[in-house]
């Protein structure tokens, strides 16, 4: 077809739009209960915001960003994720002194990946970021909020929480060295891809799906054994506070994050219902990020969730409001019907007024838009100053005075 949307993008039609809007509405409302207020950052940033923070060896930076020069010659990038821009906004607006800061955001992200179900080049995320809380309570709050949102979306049974700790930079370096040393002894058994990752991004080998890699990794050094005392204590605290709250999780020592700015807690809410695109909400702690952007030393922790993936998991059909259909019969009634429609809409009713047709056609339309009631006005009603209200579920009809039509229709208000 000649007119198709750009690969990896698509039109979100009302049916799906309702679901996605519901995901966003529930997320933002729940976030507000925890004190997280909405922030919106631009859809593109200077490229440096991303390539200096996500990690120069990461796939997103090396081959997935939509980067272009604008007319001034500046290198700009369509945001591939939401955390770095929010951190940038904190620095740009000098917000750090008001810490702790709690933000919720929602909007499109862009990554040039090979499209698949639940994986698009323009994707939509909701996310939260908490700045200025150095202790485990921050991690716990953010995870609890995520779990709460999933619960309200009815997805608790479809999703499990996996947890790991990447430790502080010292622990991370120690583990990295140990892992690289171990893997070099088992080079022959590694997949070709993992071999190239060995010096660029060795931690990535941990979550390889290659069976040979998995076997080697399973017998190798475990991340948790390399956490230094403060890092281990931090992780223990996160776990026991989650236990207190009854948030279920399982520790996965091979869980790592895609971006370099993460440390300590890393977590993912995963589903088995979406094939290879199982991660539905993921995040962690990023204590060095704000500083990497030139800001003050300000710890942070947060997560992002894929709106498409979440709405794909919601199997309940979306509920659409049922309008009231106003149907004029004959030409003289048409003008009155328009005025009544206008008045009812101003009183908060959802009202459908067809554009043409006789009574039969208009009733068909009323049925098609799933109207709950029809307000009919013909010559008889016009003369008497009333309207016939037909309940479209029961078929019962009553006659109501035009002057208090709204009162008579009260039970049909959505």
Q: Show contacts of 390-398: CB within 8 Å, 24+ apart.
A: 392/325, 392/366, 392/367
- Strand extents, DSSP E, 56-148: 66-69, 75-78, 101-110, 122-131
| Choices 42-50, 148-156, 273-281, 344-352; region in contact with RNA by CB under 7 A | 273-281
Residue closer to RNA by CB (options 161, 247) is 161
Out of 47, 67, 277, 291, name the contact with RNA by CB under 7 A.
277
d(CA 372, CA 392): 5
Query: Could you give the string, one character per residue 305-344, with x where binding to RNA holds by CB under 7 A and - elsewhere?
Result: xx-xx-------------------xx--------------
- Could you tell me which of 246, 281, 250, 253 has the C-alpha nearest to residue 179? 253
Contacts (CB under 7 A) with RNA, residues 173-232? 191, 193, 197, 204, 207-210
Closest distance of CB 79 from RNA, Å? 12
Out of 81, 129, 139, 168, name the contact with RNA by CB under 7 A.
81
Out of 79, 102, 119, 148, name the contact with RNA by CB under 7 A.
119
H-helix segments, 76-168 = 83-92, 136-152
Out of 221, 253, 258, 318, name the contact with RNA by CB under 7 A.
258
d(CA 393, CA 386): 22
- Asked if the peptide bond before residue 100 counts as cis, ω within 30 degrees of 0, the response is yes
Residue 237 in the binding site for RNA (CB under 7 A): no
d(CA 105, CA 24): 9
Closest distance of CB 263 from RNA, Å? 15
- Could you tell me which of 288, 243, 281, 244 has the C-alpha nearest to residue 262? 288
| Choices 14-22, 66-74, 378-386, 405-413; region in contact with RNA by CB under 7 A | 378-386
- The DSSP 8-state label assigned to residue 205 in this structure reads G
Measure the N-to-C terminal CA separation of the chain; round to a whole number of Å.
Answer: 41
Residue 4 in the binding site for RNA (CB under 7 A): yes
Residue 2 in the binding site for RNA (CB under 7 A): yes
| Phi/psi of residue 103, nearest 5 degrees | -125, 145
- Could you tell me which of 25, 22, 18 has the C-alpha nearest to residue 104? 25
Residue 125 in the binding site for RNA (CB under 7 A): yes
Residue closer to RNA by CB (options 342, 361) is 361
119 bridge partner residues: 116
Pair 82, 290: CB distance under 8 Å: no
Out of 24, 84, 86, 123, name the contact with RNA by CB under 7 A.
123
- Could you tell me which of 227, 218, 217 has the C-alpha nearest to residue 183? 217
Closest distance of CB 195 from RNA, Å? 12
Out of 16, 113, 151, 162, name the contact with RNA by CB under 7 A.
113
Closest distance of CB 125 from RNA, Å? 5
Contacts (CB under 7 A) with RNA, residues 357-376? 358-361, 363-364, 366-368, 374, 376
Element (H, E) at 175: helix 169-185
Closest distance of CB 229 from RNA, Å? 29
DSSP 181-248: HHHHHTGGGS-HHHHHHHHH-GGGGGG---HHHHHHHHHS--GGGG--HHHHHHHHHHHHHHHHHT--
Residues that bind RNA (rule: CB under 7 A) add up to a total of 71
| Choices 29-37, 166-174, 288-296, 380-388; region in contact with RNA by CB under 7 A | 380-388
Residue closer to RNA by CB (options 19, 119) is 119
Closest distance of CB 32 from RNA, Å? 21
- Count Cα neighbours of 391 within 13 Å in the Cβ-side half-sphere: 12
| Choices 230-238, 287-295, 337-345, 385-393; region in contact with RNA by CB under 7 A | 385-393
């Amino acid at each position: 077809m000649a007119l198709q949307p750009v690969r990896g993008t698509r039109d979100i039609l009302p049916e799906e739009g309702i679901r996605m809007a519901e995901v966003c509405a529930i997320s933002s409302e729940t976030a507000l209960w925890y004190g997280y207020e909405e922030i919106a950052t631009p859809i593109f940033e200077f490229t440096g915001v991303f390539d200096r923070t996500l990690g120069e060896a990461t796939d997103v930076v090396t081959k997935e960003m939509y980067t272009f020069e604008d007319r001034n010659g500046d290198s700009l990038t369509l945001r591939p994720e939401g955390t770095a821009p929010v951190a940038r906004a904190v620095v740009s607006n000098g917000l750090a002194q008001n810490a702790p800061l709690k933000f919720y955001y929602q909007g499109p992200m862009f990554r040039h990946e090979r499209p698949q179900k639940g994986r698009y080049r323009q994707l939509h995320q909701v996310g939260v970021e908490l700045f200025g809380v150095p202790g485990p309570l921050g991690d716990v709050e953010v995870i609890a909020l995520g779990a709460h949102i999933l619960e309200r979306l009815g997805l608790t049974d479809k999703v499990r929480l996996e947890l790991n700790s990447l430790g502080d930079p010292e622990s991370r370096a120690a583990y990295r060295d140990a892992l690289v040393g171990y893997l070099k002894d088992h080079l022959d058994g590694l997949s070709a891809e993992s071999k190239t990752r060995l010096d660029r991004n060795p931690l990535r080998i941990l979550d390889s799906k290659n069976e040979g890699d998995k076997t080697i990794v399973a017998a190798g050094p475990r991340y948790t054994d390399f956490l230094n005392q403060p890092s281990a204590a931090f992780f223990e605290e996160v776990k026991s506070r989650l236990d207190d709250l009854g948030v279920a999780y399982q520790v996965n020592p091979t869980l790592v994050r895609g971006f370099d700015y993460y440390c300590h807690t890393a977590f993912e809410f995963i589903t088995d219902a979406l094939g290879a695109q199982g991660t539905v909400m993921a995040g962690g702690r990023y204590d060095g990020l704000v500083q990497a952007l030139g800001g003050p030393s300000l710890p942070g922790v947060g997560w992002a969730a894929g709106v498409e993936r979440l709405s794909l998991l919601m199997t309940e059909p979306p509920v659409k409001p049922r309008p009231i259909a106003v149907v004029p019969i004959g030409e003289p009634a048409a003008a009155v019907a328009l005025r009544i429609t206008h008045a009812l809409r101003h009183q908060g009713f959802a009202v459908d007024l067809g554009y043409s047709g006789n009574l039969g056609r208009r009733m068909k339309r009323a049925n098609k838009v799933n109207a709950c009631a029809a307000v009919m006005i013909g010559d008889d009603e016009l003369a008497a100053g009333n309207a016939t209200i037909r309940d479209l579920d029961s078929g019962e009809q009553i006659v109501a005075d035009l002057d208090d039509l709204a009162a008579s229709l009260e039970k049909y208000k959505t």
